Amino acid sequence: MDGRRLDIDNLWMMHYANFKVLREQHLVGSGSMKFNDLVAKISVNIPIIKNACKNQMEIIDIALIDGRQNSFQGNILYFGYSSQLAGIENPPCHGILVKDDETRIDQIQNLALVAPAELFSAVNLARTLMKTSGGGLLYEELIKRANETRDLQAVVNTASILLGNSLIFSDVNFKILAHSTSIPVTDDLWKDNIRQGYCSYDFIQAVQQLKPIQQAAHTTDAVEVSCTESPYRKLSSKVFHNDIQVGFLLMIEGETPVTPVHMEMLEVVSHAISYTTIHYFSYLFQTGTRYQQLLYELLIGAPPENIVSCFPGLEFASKLMALSVLPTRYLGERHLKDHLVPALKEVLTGSHVTYHEGKVAVLVPLLKNDRFPDEQLKELQNLVAAEHLRIGVSNTFTHVESFAKYYHQAVSALNLGKRLNPENFICYYLDYQFYDLLDHVEDEAQLGQFCHPALSILRQYDRKNETCLYDTLKVYLDVGGSIKRASEKLFVHRNSLAYRLERIAEISNIDLNDAYIRFMLRMSYLIDCYKGQDT
């Protein structure tokens, strides 16, 4: 066994040792809390009156009074109605009750009273508080980590080490918000999702068909969500904010086998992630519009012919354009969502946005022409300069179902413009369409064989004779064969340009009056530009 294998084994032994210590110190598993503390925390959200508190025995669980109990355990907190205790000689030690009759309940050592309408809310809140306290120092350690770093990734990494397995945190749209690097994800399915930053529409549909997902309660209770497509066991726990699910945690079994304790620990981690997101990353969960949801689902692969019918009532202009917006100086997602996107929507009136692969995807309505009006373009250019943006612009289209297809045009224009014309920050796909075609050639080395041999002849002639016939022909073709415009761009007399063109025709044995030859030469220069051989 090599040294690297020993290092890995030692690391896992350390993780498992930490895990055992947490269990032995009751930092994981069922929680415990004193009556005073629990009532104080419940009273923050629910009106509750503490009636008596005569001892500080630890509460380790909660239960409902069902009228059939013959005895009550001293370390359990019971919820119910006072009438359910009628005739009971030895009432529970701990109770949170609704006073609904004259039954004497003054024998209960630790007692609090709630209104009838609040009873079951108090039960649910107490259960949540007990589970959170069940993590004890685990929860406190994660909260401490969150407050020190304000970094979601750091909290997930810390939790991953304590659980001894890899973790993924995703929002409800299956966008990957954080994943453990301390214990990397090894499942191939999820490695692909992490690589692209989101899950595809087909993947999401498959996950939502899993029975444990369909049957999961609206709680943080961890459930096993293993599937036949992967050899790894998985546990999942929902993450909530104000009782609304904002995401989920996924633990993937590695060299630390899944145990029931993991399920309880994962719930604790879920509460810690909820705390972290509420305090430091609430902008991640801004409520999106139906327009935004439609655009996002189209981008992740939803079938256009089916998905649009799921969003009735949405209206779109008869002419549309897609933009891909990339900040060249990234100031964080909060700045992106709170400042940049509102500014974009102010300039591009009536537009809708979503977020995809680190970029802002924009659907823009067009009123008349296939390009921006002059005034709007000027405002957009000012925003591009102020916010250090690079924008790709698609060709126009007429149906929103085509948004994903045309958004990919915008991304191609953005990427090709950055590579070929880095001084241009607004790049139109129409100007890069041919380059996009070249981008789809699998073997770039083969492109040279499609170039007209005249270009190679002129490059060699220029190197040997210190002339500039290659560039002269390029400019001449760029201006559509106009002697006047070419001579102005080259700063030479028209007669000098005419002489150069004659030399080019003679050296290369080409007829510049032949339209097909000019097309082949123009295409060859574009290939040279794409390959970086035009200078």
Give 137-193 pLDDT, tens digit per residue.
678 789 999 999 999 999 999 999 988 899 999 999 999 999 999 999 999 999 999
Query: Which pLDDT score is estimated for 86?
Result: 87
Name which residue leads in pLDDT, 61 or 335: 335
The angle formed by the CA atoms of residues 17, 169 and 255, to the nearest 5 degrees, is 30
CA count, 13 A, side-chain hemisphere, 513: 1
Name the pLDDT band for 464 (thresholds 50, 70, 90). very high
- Residue 388 has which token pair? 């250090």
- Look at the block and give the residue holding tokens 């008349």: 368
Under DSSP, the state recorded for 444 is G
pLDDT of residue 331: 81
Output the pLDDT for position 136. 56
pLDDT tens for residues 192-215? Answer: 999 999 999 999 999 999 999 999
Return the higher-pLDDT residue of 293 and 129. Answer: 293
* Of residues 349, 234, 364, 242, the one with CA closest to residue 295: 364
Output the average pLDDT for the chain.
87
Quote the percentage of the chain above a pLDDT of 70. 92
pLDDT in tens, 328-382: 988 888 888 889 999 999 999 999 999 999 899 999 999 877 788 899 999 999 9
Q: Count the neighbouring beta carbons within 10 Å of the beta carbon of residue 432.
A: 24
pLDDT at 265: 86
CB 60 within 8 A of CB 76: yes
Q: Is the pLDDT of residue 16 over 60?
A: no
- Tokens at residue 51, please? 């009636």
Q: Is the pTM of this model over 0.85?
A: no
State the average pLDDT over residues 479-487: 93
Q: How confident is the model at residue 13 (pLDDT cuts 50, 70, 90)?
A: very low
Predicted confidence at residue 11, as pLDDT, reads: 43
Distance CA 36, CA 59 (A): 10
Quick one: pLDDT at residue 162? 86
How high is the pLDDT of residue 133?
Answer: 60
Contact (CB, 8 A) for 115 and 96: no
pLDDT at position 282 is 81
Residues contacting residue 147 through CB under 8 Å, at least 6 positions apart: 279
pLDDT digits (tens, 9 = 90+) for 404-452: 999 999 999 999 999 999 999 999 999 999 999 998 888 887 888 889 9
For residue 5, is pLDDT > 60? no
Q: What is the pLDDT of residue 25?
A: 41
Q: Stretch 392-408: mean pLDDT, rounded?
A: 96
Number of neighbours of residue 210 by Cβ within 10 angstroms = 17
